[in-house]
Amino acid sequence: RRKLENRISILEKELKEMVEDRKIQRQRRIKNEIPVVALVGYTNSGKSTLMNTILECSKIQDEDKKVYVEDMLFATLETTTRQIILEDNKKFLLTDTVGFVSRLPHQLVKAFRSTLEEITEADLILHVIDISNKNFERQLKTTEQVLKEIGVSDIPIIHVYNKIDVNNTLTVGEGVFISAKYKTNIDILINKIREVLFSDYRTVKMLIPYSQGSIYSVLKEHAYIKEEEYTDKGIEIIVELNSILYEKYKHLLK
């Protein structure tokens, strides 16, 4: 019992420190205007495995960026965030939150809830559900209830039914059925994420004068240039970009 109390005390301290760290991180993300996707779900639902699988879809891959995966309680104590850059240069931040658990010790309930504040800042939530678990429907409802209690009401949610490699007999509702371990249907999930996060993107034609080459550099980094041609007047491009960049550079429309 004493060991358990010591463990709880350590967890409470770590959770408090992480709450403060995340406040600073959230301020930076808002400033950078990069959309945030939060992974939520019960412990062992496969959130960290899914995060690593999505990381492999990123243009920039680094083994050091992969997250710790372990089949145990509180294996993911920290809220881990990684930047994902898709092939068409669309970017988002993917956050792996601490896993939900049943019968959480009452001393940890408040601290645990505070770690979920990260979710309320997200632009999209991926609710990962382990359909190989016989209690997955109860876990799904419990998770949704907690999300409601912390104020998540107007954030889009995609239900991600994981581990179809173990149980492929269920069709329980709308969502995406995947195997994070074997990368099954990950492309479908990525496309769903695109639809939600980048609905404001549009494709336009622009003429960038050579004297404003810095604009080309900005678009090269933060938008997706589909075609480009060097002409006497400047660089003609066909570019897919978000509403912020469009408003900023619409004077260059051709």
* pLDDT tens for each residue of 7-49: 656 666 666 665 555 554 555 444 457 999 999 998 889 998 9
157-162: strand order across its sheet? 80-85, 91-96, 36-41, 124-130, 157-162, 176-177
Report the pLDDT value the prediction gives residue 205, as an integer from 0 to 100: 98
Crossing angle between the packed helical segments 106-115 and 2-32, to the nearest 10 degrees = 10
Which one, of 104, 101, 53, 99, lies nearest residue 76 by Cα? 99
Report the pLDDT value the prediction gives residue 4, as an integer from 0 to 100: 58
Which segments in the chain show pLDDT lower than 50?
A: 24, 28-31, 67-76
Report the pLDDT value the prediction gives residue 110, as an integer from 0 to 100: 64
Report the pLDDT value the prediction gives residue 123, as an integer from 0 to 100: 95
Report the pLDDT value the prediction gives residue 76, as an integer from 0 to 100: 44
Report the pLDDT value the prediction gives residue 70, as an integer from 0 to 100: 46
* pTM score over 0.75: yes
Report the pLDDT value the prediction gives residue 104, as an integer from 0 to 100: 61
Distances (CA, A) of 19 to 23, 34, 76, 150, 204: 6, 20, 15, 15, 42
